[in-house]
């Protein structure tokens, strides 16, 4: 949904663009009435700023923004069960409100990520991983957890994948890659140097490069050959990586499933050979 997209992009916007985004989020219905010039006046900016704001969202025009907002309001109005919860959790909100806000934010982010997922980019990424001799996965901090999850899934279907969460080790590994290899770099901001540097080195070595990021115009996205974009389910206390975690894992799930499908014989054989391991380590309760 367009409001979820605006929320996810807002932290990285400049002051003037942020003003436009904040006004649209504060009153989406009012934003659908009037021209770009009028919206610029209301935000103390200009028509050109409104146009730049639309382009920063990946929209072709202000008219497209109006259409997206109108369609979202129509969908919300058609569903009587749905309320506009917003992303905020106040100090006096009860537990039901907390659960509702968090669940709504995650569901919106997941739906928006799925609706706007670049199918061609996903297919190219999956085919690159399926064909790779070796796969490096880069990520630090919260993105390092996602990197390890990617490694675990791909390794479980027979891919030679390894997650690198320390920059020196990542760059050492990247320097040894070849055109037969592939890398996945994970960074919500797309500006994390510890992730960007090894990806650039991997690209110099000829490896296929894939970025998972929440910022499609970021340095990481520009440096990678393929970019997959997630959208944030931010709420109070959940910003950046924490807000986008579920939608990133949706991308990982889709990528994993497609790679498994493309390497069907290897994947099914690997699963069959390892399926007994978890059961073998389960603690059995003793009957009395």
Sign of CA dihedral 166, 171, 176, 179: positive
Helix (H) or strand (E) holding 138: strand 135-138
- Report how far residue 216's alpha carbon sits from residue 213's, in angstroms, rounded to the nearest whole number: 7
One domain, residues 52 and 164: no
One domain, residues 134 and 253: yes
Domain boundary among 79, 98, 130: 79
One domain, residues 40 and 155: no
- Report how far residue 183's alpha carbon sits from residue 201's, in angstroms, rounded to the nearest whole number: 11
Give the pLDDT confidence score for residue 78 in this predicted structure: 47
CATH number at residue 26: 1.10.10.10
Q: Does a structural domain hold residue 39? A: yes
One domain, residues 39 and 130: no
Predicted confidence band of residue 116 (pLDDT cuts 50, 70, 90): confident
- Report how far residue 105's alpha carbon sits from residue 87's, in angstroms, rounded to the nearest whole number: 7
Lowest mean pLDDT of 3-7, 25-29, 219-223, 232-236, name the range.
Answer: 232-236
Give the pLDDT confidence score for residue 288 in this predicted structure: 53
Phi and psi angles of residue 141, each rounded to the nearest 5 degrees, phi first = 60, -135
- Report how far residue 173's alpha carbon sits from residue 222's, in angstroms, rounded to the nearest whole number: 21
Domain boundary among 79, 106, 127: 79
Give the pLDDT confidence score for residue 9 in this predicted structure: 82
One domain, residues 65 and 130: no
Domain coverage including residue 253 = 119-274
- Arithmetic mean of pLDDT, 182-202: 95
Lowest mean pLDDT of 10-24, 116-130, 237-251, name the range.
Answer: 237-251
Q: Does a structural domain hold residue 112? A: no
One domain, residues 138 and 9: no
Task: Provide the number of structural domains found in the chain.
Answer: 2
One domain, residues 195 and 74: no
Q: Does a structural domain hold residue 54? A: yes
Helix-then-strand count for the chain, H and E = 15, 5
- Report how far residue 200's alpha carbon sits from residue 221's, in angstroms, rounded to the nearest whole number: 11
One domain, residues 72 and 139: no
State CA 174 to chain mean position distance.
Answer: 23
- Arithmetic mean of pLDDT, 156-160: 97
One domain, residues 138 and 68: no
Q: Does a structural domain hold residue 89? A: no
One domain, residues 173 and 258: yes
- The token duo for 259 is 């790679």
Predicted confidence band of residue 87 (pLDDT cuts 50, 70, 90): low
Q: Does a structural domain hold residue 73? A: yes
Give the pLDDT confidence score for residue 79 in this predicted structure: 46
Confidence check: pLDDT of 129 > 80 = yes
One domain, residues 262 and 128: yes
How much helix, strand and coil, in percent to the nearest 5, is found in the chain?
A: 60, 10, 30
Q: What are the C-alpha distances in Å from 72 to residues 4, 28, 99, 148?
A: 10, 9, 23, 35
Q: Which of 48-52, 88-92, 223-227 has the highest mean pLDDT?
A: 223-227
Average pLDDT, the chain: 86
Q: Does a structural domain hold residue 93? A: no
Q: Does a structural domain hold residue 98? A: no
38-47: per-residue pLDDT in tens? Answer: 888 888 999 9
One domain, residues 252 and 164: yes
Lowest mean pLDDT of 63-77, 138-152, 267-281, name the range.
Answer: 63-77
List, edge to edge, every strand of the sheet that includes 226-229.
161-164, 135-138, 182-186, 208-213, 226-229
Q: Does a structural domain hold residue 287? A: no
Q: What is the pTM of this model?
A: 0.71
Max CA separation in the chain (angstroms):
78
CATH number at residue 219: 3.40.50.10490
- Arithmetic mean of pLDDT, 78-98: 65
């Amino acid at each position: 949904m367009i409001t979820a997209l605006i929320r996810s992009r807002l932290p990285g916007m400049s002051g003037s663009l942020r003003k436009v985004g904040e006004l649209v989020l504060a009153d989406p219905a009012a934003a659908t009435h009037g021209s770009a010039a009028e919206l610029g006046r209301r935000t103390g900016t200009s028509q050109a700023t409104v146009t730049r704001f639309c382009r920063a969202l990946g929209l072709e025009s202000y008219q497209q923004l109006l259409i997206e907002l109108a369609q979202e309001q129509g969908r919300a109005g058609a569903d009587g069960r749905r309320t506009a919860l917003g992303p905020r959790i106040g100090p006096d909100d009860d537990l039901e409100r907390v659960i509702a806000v968090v669940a709504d934010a995650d569901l919106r982010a997941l739906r928006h990520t799925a609706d706007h997922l670049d199918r061609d980019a996903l297919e190219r990424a999956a085919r690159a991983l399926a064909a790779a001799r070796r796969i490096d996965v880069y990520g630090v901090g919260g993105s390092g957890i996602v990197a390890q999850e990617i490694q675990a899934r791909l390794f479980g279907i027979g891919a030679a994948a390894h997650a690198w969460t320390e920059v020196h080790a990542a760059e050492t590994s990247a320097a040894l890659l070849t055109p037969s290899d592939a890398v996945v770099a994970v960074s919500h901001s797309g500006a994390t140097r510890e992730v960007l540097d090894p990806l650039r080195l991997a690209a110099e070595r000829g490896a296929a490069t894939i970025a998972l990021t929440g910022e499609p115009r970021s340095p990481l996205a520009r440096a990678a050959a393929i970019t997959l974009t997630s959208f944030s389910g931010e709420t109070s206390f959940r910003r950046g990586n924490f807000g986008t975690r579920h939608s990133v894992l949706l991308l990982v799930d889709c990528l994993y499933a497609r790679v498994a499908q493309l390497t069907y014989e290897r994947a099914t054989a690997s699963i069959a050979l390892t399926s007994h391991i978890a059961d073998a380590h389960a603690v059995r309760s003793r009957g009395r």
